[in-house]
Structure 1
Amino acid sequence: MSSQVMPTYARLPVVFERGEGPWLWSTDGTRYFDAISGIAVCNLGHAHPAVAAAICDQAGKLVHTSNLYGIALQEQLAAELCRLGGMDNAFFCNSGAEANEAALKLARRHGHGRGIAHPKVVVMENSFHGRTLFTLSATGNTKVQESFEPLVDSFIRVPYGNAEAVAAIDDASVVAVLVEPIQGEGGVRVPPAEFLPALRQLCDQRGWLLMLDEVQTGMARTGAWFGFQHAGIQPDVMTLAKALGNGVPIGACLARGAAADVLTAGRHGSTFGGNPLACRAALSVIETLQRQNLIARAAFLGQRLLNGFRSALADHPQVLDIRGRGLLIGIELDRPCAELTQRALAAGYLINVTAERTIRLLPPLILTDEEVQHLIEGVARLVNDFTAA
């Protein structure tokens, strides 16, 4: 059947019509276990009653006015996020790419304020920050950059997890470091425990901004509100999106200290960013995470999954590593395994493969113990069948 939708995705042959918790039902009535939560978006699962009620109530009151006027729910959401993350203010937009775009613009303007004509940002190999031209240029993946050159020439790239490589940079034009606390698209790469503290120290010594891309790791995914909290540090800039609205598009760029004074009236904006509907959904997400103690639950379930997979796949010669933090899990095989997404679909599971050979699992935080076991058994069976073929 022909489609008028641009073919920017190699979509799997299924269409969903409803969901509940970690489950999705296709148009033919088949049930699937969503182990990627819409790519780390639906942390509360699908059709969460509290979020659904908040959206319906707000839609009946006010959806949009514009940022030419005050938005009370936006003020409330900014205050909550700053309280949870130790930040000073927030800019709202509609996606992770836009949030990272705001952070990069902030860094560039910060550099100009210091008299640097061509400000540069240190970024990491195998990173992913978005598909706008600026964020695509920051991304460390030549495959997604191909055919969009020339890219923005503002970045110095170093190996992820290597603080010594950052320390070795000798360039007076550097103004910031942009890094993911855990690389999701890069293959669920967890850096050494000393990496983020070392970056914080370097940024303090050299007057750089430490900017953390928490688009995938934020909002309790890793068993803390934000991934940086595991390292006991504080960023100057932090970006959020994905799970912030549990499916309602919303992104945020939060800043602290001197970075909080950079973006002033007329210097950045967003027509839809932080509208009443999106902010009401995000406030409902935060309230639900707190009320149901899902931050601690994510840490507990994540350890159960890691232990379960390590036991089920113990001594498996084709499994190189099983790693992660909270409910961000990677199972790395010794071979490309993209076809596993199709095999999983046929078996009733939605999974994802990143960096060619790492199965990425991002299940919702509301899983029951039985659903955790269902996921362990199902994915282990897929891996065993695939590697035996």
Structure 2
Amino acid sequence: MAFAEFPVQSLMYITNRPELVFTEGKGSWLTDHNGKRYLDFVQGWAVNALGHSNEGMIQALEKQARKLLNPSPAFYNEPMLKLAQQLTDNSCFDKVFFANSGAEANEGAIKLARKWGRKHKNGAYEIITMDHSFHGRTLATMSASGKAGWDTIFAPQVPGFPKAELNDLASVEKLITDKTVGIMLEPVQGEGGVIPATREFMQGLRALADKHKLLFIVDEVQTGCGRCGTLFAYELSGVEPDIMTLGKGIGGGVPLSALLCKADVASFEAGDQGGTYNGNPLMTAVGSSVMEQLTAPGFLDDVKAKGEYLREQLLVLTKEFGLGGERGEGLLRALVLGKDIGPQLVEEAREMSPVGLLLNAPRPNLLRFMPALNVTREEIDQMIGMLRELLKKLA
């Protein structure tokens, strides 16, 4: 079927898409409508933690689809309870609320913090967030984000999100007032350019939160679920947040997210929070399979090892082409290019033949790598080889 025959005109425009339609995927590979294969180092922006068409996820979907899809979030269901316990057993948190997307989870975190502030801090509602941060595309999460230009697109913004600088503790402290209820950040800014929060900064935020009786909130929509080499990125700094959000990897490709908190923060009352599909057994059964695979013996050690191997190979390219270096945690990494050739590299990588390469450039001067956590070293080598060929032309 030729691309011109697909009814693309029926879709609302939201972004520029290339003229290809993906039809199949397996592991680190996608296939388009012409049969061309692509090595996928984007994986839905870190969504497909276990790659495309993971067998464990497929089995969970098939089994649950024949039993129960959605009894309503007003009732308990078995996969919901199982996944909630898996998350609390493997984290520092006590309570879980399931949603469908990272933005929804973050919206829930904002609501929970404001509810807690009303109950325990005289109505405090402001949440200090970071410049260049990304928390989602709802009105509140866009307002919480520090993405350039987002303060005017759908103005007026939702108030209550003063912006500090990542890794600058003084910039956070000077924003604290009697209206402040919490501090929220990504342990690694993904859309901002794969910029990790330092261990010292994370520990300093925990101390600041304790000192001023604030909530420490981590947005782990992109960094959680093994992406950074530990199950959750907050573990890298040896801190315990009060609230955490998960998305992307927790569903491994299906729409699932979660809001987690400590028991003494769980302040919602009946009617405060909900959602038609939240915690439905079909999605949570898949999430449970993802968690089983992520917590299997040796899996996260393998992610750390492959993250280090990818780092080493990116440093080889840096030295070879005089680039600006690399940064990141685990298998969330960036190559700093030193010049604004990122979008051109992305396009030319996709157009390579006979095999294409899928990359992402969240900033014009860098590439972001988010492969499946079970990517092989051979696939990392293949990606590096393909990128080397492109850099010979463009760098």
Give the TM-score, by structure 2 length: 0.94
Q: Which consecutive residues of structure 1, in runs of 5 or more, have no partner in the other structure?
A: none
What SS class does the counterpart of residue 196 from structure 2 fall into? coil
The answer to whether structure 1 residue 33 and structure 2 residue 30 are counterparts is no
Q: How does 1:1-389 map to 2 (within 5 A)?
A: 3-117=9-123, 119-260=125-266, 262-291=267-296, 293-314=298-319, 316-317=321-322, 319-336=323-340, 337-347=342-352, 348-387=356-395
Secondary structure in 1 aligned to 2:199? coil
Structure 2 CA distance for aligned equivalents of residues 170 and 31 of structure 1: 51
CA distance in 2, matches of 1:219, 1:196: 19
Find the aligned partners of 1:85 and 1:379 in 2 and give their Cα distance: 37
SS of residue in 2 equivalent to 1:216: coil
**Aligned residues of 1:313 and 1:380 also touching (Cα < 8 A):** no
1:277-303 CA-to-partner distances (Å, cap 9, x unmatched) read 001000001112223632111110010
Q: Is the 8 A contact 1:203 1:210 kept in 2?
A: yes
Bigger shift: residues 169-178 or 301-310: 169-178
* 8 Å Cα contact 1:213-1:240 kept in structure 2: yes
Aligned length: 385
Kindly state the Cα deviation for residue 338 of structure 1 after the two structures are TM-superposed. 1.6
Q: CA–CA distance in 2 between the matches of 1:51 and 1:170?
A: 44
Letter in 1 for 2:357: Y
Q: What is the rounded CA distance, in whole Å, between the counterparts of 2:56 and 2:231 in structure 1?
A: 19
Does the residue aligned with 1:314 lie in a helix, a strand or coil? Answer: helix
Q: Distance in 1 between matches of 2:318 and 2:179?
A: 48
Q: Which amino acid is the alignment partner of residue 271 of structure 2?
A: G
**2:280 counterpart letter in structure 1:** N
In the TM superposition, what whole-angstrom CA distance separates every residue of 1:160-219 from its partner, at most 9, and x where no partner exists?
Answer: 111121122341110100100000000000122211011001101110000000000000
Q: Is the 8 A contact 1:118 1:154 kept in 2?
A: no
Give the Cα separation in 2 of the matches to 1:170 and 1:253.
Answer: 24
Q: Which moved more, 1:111-120 or 1:356-365?
A: 111-120
- Structure 2 residue runs of 5 or longer lacking an equivalent are none
User: Residue deviations 1:290-328, cap 9 Å, x none?
Assistant: 2363211111001001101111331533x2121111100
Cα offset, 1:145, TM superposition: 4.3
Q: Is the 8 A contact 1:20 1:46 kept in 2?
A: yes
| Bigger Cα displacement from structure 2, 6-15 vs 148-157 | 6-15
Equivalent residues of 1:92, 1:270 under 8 A apart: no
SS, match of residue 149 in structure 2: helix
| 1:310 aligned partner, one-letter code | L
- Deviation sequence 1:53-100 (CA, Å, 0-9, x none): 110111111111111111121111111101111101000000000000
Residues 292, 32 of structure 1: alpha-carbon distance in 2 compared, 3 angstrom cutoff: farther
Deviation, structure 1 residue 383: 2.9
Answer yes or no: is the 8 Å Cα contact 1:182–1:188 preserved in 2. yes
2:16 match: secondary structure: coil
Structure 2 Cα separation of the partners of residues 88 and 223 of structure 1: 23
Name the amino acid aligned to 2:190: G
The SS at the match of 2:25 is strand
TM-score (norm 1): 0.96
Instruction: Report the identity percentage.
Output: 35
Work out whether residues 318 and 324 of structure 2, in 8 Å CA contact, stay in contact via their aligned partners in 1: no
SS at structure 2 position matched to 1:338? helix
Q: Which runs of at least 4 in structure 1 moved beyond 4 Å after TM superposition?
A: none
Describe the SS at the equivalent of 2:162: strand
Please give the per-residue CA displacement for 1:248-303, whole angstroms capped at 9, x wherever unaligned.
1001000004212x112211101101100001000001112223632111110010
Q: Secondary structure at the match of 1:76?
A: helix
Letter in 2 for 1:253: L
Secondary structure at the aligned position of 1:131 is classed as coil
Q: Shift of residue 115 of structure 1?
A: 5.0
For residues 121 and 252 of structure 2, the distance between their equivalents in structure 1, rounded to whole angstroms, comes to: 41
Question: 1: CA distance between counterparts of 2:38 and 2:371?
Answer: 12
Q: What is the alpha-carbon distance in structure 2 between the residues aligned to residue 198 and residue 370 of structure 1?
A: 40
